[in-house]
Chain A
Amino acid sequence: MKKLQILGTGCTKCKALTEATKKAADELGLEYELGKVTDIKEIMAFGVMTTPALAVDGAVKVAGKVPNHTELKALLSATK
């Protein structure tokens, strides 16, 4: 079970990243739980300064951008 978290205060890019992550994870057949972190204090605790960001099992993997589909898949499968 992977813990995926989208960090962001709710801008359009955050939604785009959520959708893209869902799609990539489904395609890889991962078992995962997708959560959102919208509180700025909690976001800061991850140490990111640019949103949206994606954390996999608590470690920040993407910050400040929405990676494309292949990148996301590579990233999610690399951290198996």
Chain B
Amino acid sequence: MNQPNKVDLSKPAACCCASPTGQTAYGAKKTPARLFRFIAMGSVGVLFWWLAYRNLALFSQWLTYTVLPFKRDTHLGASVEFFVYEAPKVLLLLALVVFGVGIVRTFFTPERTRRILSGKRESAGNVLAALLGIVTPFCSCSAVPLFIGFVTTGVPLGVTFSFLISAPMVNEVALVLLFGMFGWKVAGLYLGTGLLIATIAGWVIGRLHMEKHVEDWVFETKPGNGTEDDSLDWSARVRLGWDAVKEIVGQVWLYVLLGIAVGAGIHGFVPENFMASIMGKGAWWSVPLAVLLGVPMYSNAAGIIPVVQALLGKGAALGTVLAFMMSVIALSLPEAIILRKVLKPRLIATFFGIVALSIMLVGYLFNFLM
């Protein structure tokens, strides 16, 4: 792991699949004893989680001022207390949400999502696709097979795009981090506008009737039957949820700590406002600039959070920063290269253009509202 903030353009096929789809040897036989053990272990786990979460404030004060030699009412003491409170809090929240989402995702394999969306009319289909984008396991390296699998089985092009936009952009890790660091308002706005962008951008692409700008061979592809859906029992789902926690938390914990460390630095020491002049509300051009910078960059949702934390802390406007964040995680140069296999340049340009434009509008909306 080198510089954690580095934006990586060198790996177009960078794989982020953390998708425990239920197509493996998990279709275990149900035995009541095992189920009971899982429920018992689960309850104990939840109890511990809750106790830990409830007592974090006390713990962080005790650790900072009693165990460690920091003084109360000093900048350094406040910073350290902030860090030892926030870091476990966000990691606990993250583990819980990733676990929950991991379990929900065992119900929504890409195959099932496709079945739900197949033959759906536009508009309602766009909304549904954006929502399913959150709960269906997805990774950018599967974007091409997923795209082909959708459009060749009767999912309208615009609906497919709603899914392809929402799946990476509305991300549970980003949601938890935003909630943990900035509160439910920011997290809710991110969720709501993310869904809105995915729905509207997909709908517009559908209205433009750009089917002829999909590479011809795509529609000639005859998709096979794929895997048979195993029905999983609950212990298998719990295990898959736990696998997701190990995998995702294992990947992102460093970014999370870094983001909180940046926040702690800002928390203890008075924030400077040097970003305010260039990324504050007053600078109207900062939103398009942020999107323009963010679009080609590739980073996962967790990697961008420290940057968001730093920018906000230094006085950048919320809308500008959210626009930057969304454009980084929703669009990227590697993604354009991958999608070029199935889309002609004009459709890629339209796709990027519409999504970038929607993100800009959201940026302005936030700067105006908040």
Chain A contacts to B: CB under 8 angstroms: 9-14, 40-41, 43-51, 60-65, 67, 71-72, 74-75, 78
A-B contacts, 25 of them at CB < 8 A, read A9-B13, A10-B13, A11-B13, A11-B14, A11-B15, A41-B217, A44-B149, A45-B223, A47-B227, A49-B110, A49-B111, A49-B114, A49-B145, A49-B148, A49-B150, A50-B137, A50-B145, A51-B17, A62-B24, A63-B226, A64-B19, A64-B110, A65-B17, A65-B21, A67-B25
Contact A48 B24 (CB under 8 A): no
B341 proximal to A (CB < 8 A): yes
Residues of A within 8 A of B148 (CB): 40, 44, 49
Assembled-state Cα–Cα distance A12/B251 (Å): 15
B277 proximal to A (CB < 8 A): no
Partner of B139, one of A10, A50, A61: A50
Assembled-state Cα–Cα distance A46/B228 (Å): 12
Assembled-state Cα–Cα distance A10/B23 (Å): 21
Give, as a whole number of angstroms, the nearest-CB distance from B310 to chain A: 29
Residue of B whose beta carbon sits closest to that of A50: B142
How many pairs of residues, A versus B, come closer than 8 Å at their CB atoms?
105
Residues of B within 8 A of A43 (CB): 145
Given known pairs A47-B227, A64-B142, the reply for A75 and B24 (CB within 8 Å) is: yes
Partner of B145, one of A44, A67, A78: A44
Q: A50-B139, A72-B25 are in contact. List 13 more A-B contacts (CB 8 A).
A: A11-B15, A13-B141, A46-B224, A47-B149, A48-B227, A49-B114, A49-B145, A49-B148, A61-B24, A65-B17, A65-B20, A67-B25, A78-B25
Task: Please provide the 7 A-B residue pairs with the shortest distance between their CB atoms, ordered closest to farther.
Answer: A47-B226, A47-B224, A49-B149, A11-B15, A11-B13, A74-B25, A49-B110
Residues of A within 8 A of B139 (CB): 50, 64
Give, as a whole number of angstroms, the nearest-CB distance from B118 to chain A: 12
* B interface, over-half SS: loop
Taking CB atoms and an 8 Å cut-off, the chain B residues in 114-155 that contact chain A are 114, 137, 139, 141-142, 144-146, 148-150, 152
Give, as a whole number of angstroms, the nearest-CB distance from A42 to chain B: 10
Assembled-state Cα–Cα distance A51/B21 (Å): 11
Taking CB atoms and an 8 Å cut-off, the chain B residues in 7-57 that contact chain A are 13-15, 17, 19-21, 23-26
Chain B contacts to A: CB under 8 angstroms: 13-15, 17, 19-21, 23-26, 110-111, 114, 137, 139, 141-142, 144-146, 148-150, 152, 217, 221-227, 341
Assembled-state Cα–Cα distance A13/B139 (Å): 11
Residues of B within 8 A of A71 (CB): 24-26
Residues of A within 8 A of B217 (CB): 41
Contact A64 B137 (CB under 8 A): yes
Assembled-state Cα–Cα distance A78/B27 (Å): 12
Residues of A within 8 A of B141 (CB): 9, 11, 13, 51
Assembled-state Cα–Cα distance A50/B26 (Å): 18
Assembled-state Cα–Cα distance A30/B233 (Å): 30
Give, as a whole number of angstroms, the nearest-CB distance from B243 to chain A: 9
Partner of B224, one of A10, A14, A45: A45
Residues of A within 8 A of B146 (CB): 49-50
Assembled-state Cα–Cα distance A48/B21 (Å): 12
Assembled-state Cα–Cα distance A40/B62 (Å): 57
Partner of A45, one of B14, B110, B222: B222
Assembled-state Cα–Cα distance A30/B17 (Å): 29
Give, as a whole number of angstroms, the nearest-CB distance from A3 to chain B: 16
Residues of A within 8 A of B21 (CB): 50, 63-65
Most buried by B among A14, A44, A45: A44
Assembled-state Cα–Cα distance A13/B222 (Å): 25
Partner of A65, one of B24, B150, B224: B24
Residues of B within 8 A of A46 (CB): 224, 226
Residue of B whose beta carbon sits closest to that of A48: B226
Contact A67 B226 (CB under 8 A): no
Contact B25 A63 (CB under 8 A): no
Residues of B within 8 A of A60 (CB): 23, 226-227
Residues of B within 8 A of A47 (CB): 149, 223-227
Contact A12 B110 (CB under 8 A): no
Residues of A within 8 A of B144 (CB): 9, 40
